[in-house]
Amino acid sequence: MSSALLAIGRRRTTAERRRDRERDIIRATRELFDERGTIDAQIDDIAKRVGINKALIYRHFSGKEELFALTLVDYLGELDERLQAVDNPRRAPLNRLKALSEVFVDFCLEFPAFTDCAMSLLRRTGEELFGEITEPVMVTLGTAMAAALGRIATVLDAGQRAGVFATADTAYLANHLYTQTLGSLHMARVGLIVSTGKPGHPVVHHAEVSTVRETAITATLATAVGRFAYEVPKKARRAGDRS
């Protein structure tokens, strides 16, 4: 075998080892996320879980933000598989969207670190993200998000064509629902509700997870229905006034 072919073989083997190690690092990161949450998952702990020096992590990823972004990609891949499993085009659009919303909300509740990880990226501007994450990883993250968001946009489009959802830019609305649900589920993460008590004495209550779940799903459906939610009662009132 020529030296050129041997060199190509070695390069391929090195590339494969690199990909395997990156997968190991991402898998270890997600394990620690699910065990401890994103805040308590440190690079040292991730390296120890994989069995490597933490300096090696920075050879594979530009920094913690990039590693977190690729871990989010792992979550999003599993989320899309679950969405695909319940998505039935023959269902009425409202029921179809409800099924997807239930899966998304339950996924957030099952994996609180997914919500934290997604929210941490949403808090950054696009300019900040491009400064912290390399372009190939941004493309990978965008592709993973587009899979789930595209599925939601398809259902929204079907509902608009059927006349049950108000007309809106489906891509924008899918992104809005994604962000809205993550924000809602953060209430379950915090677990607290603040209300008015005596002047200067706010009252803190426990937030029931079941209530947060139901509200998040209802909010998704109400947002999709949009102006129809208040136009129909208005028409009913007018009909009542005429009778």
Query: What is the model's pLDDT at position 55?
Result: 81
- What tokens were used for 210? 């079941």
- What tokens were used for 233? 């009662």
Query: What is the model's pLDDT at position 7?
Result: 54
Query: What is the model's pLDDT at position 207?
Result: 80
Query: What is the model's pLDDT at position 5?
Result: 53
Tell which residue, 63, 68, 56, has the closest CA to residue 26. Answer: 68
Q: Which residues contact 73 (CB under 8 A, 6 or more apart)?
A: 140, 141, 144
Give me the domains of the chain, ranges plus CATH numbers. 17-60 (1.10.10.60), 64-225 (1.10.357.10)
Angstrom distances, CA of residue 115 to CA of 20, 72, 76, 194: 26, 9, 11, 22
Beta bridge partners of 204: 194
Give the residues of the chain that fall short of pLDDT 70.
Answer: 1-12, 14, 40, 231-243
Cβ distance 52 to 70 under 8 Å? no
Q: How would you class 186 by CB atoms within 10 Å of its CB: exposed for 0-12, middle for 13-18, buried for 19 or more? A: middle
- Rounded-to-integer distance, Cα 48 and Cα 119, Å: 26
Average pLDDT taken over every residue of the chain:
84
Query: What is the model's pLDDT at position 54?
Result: 79
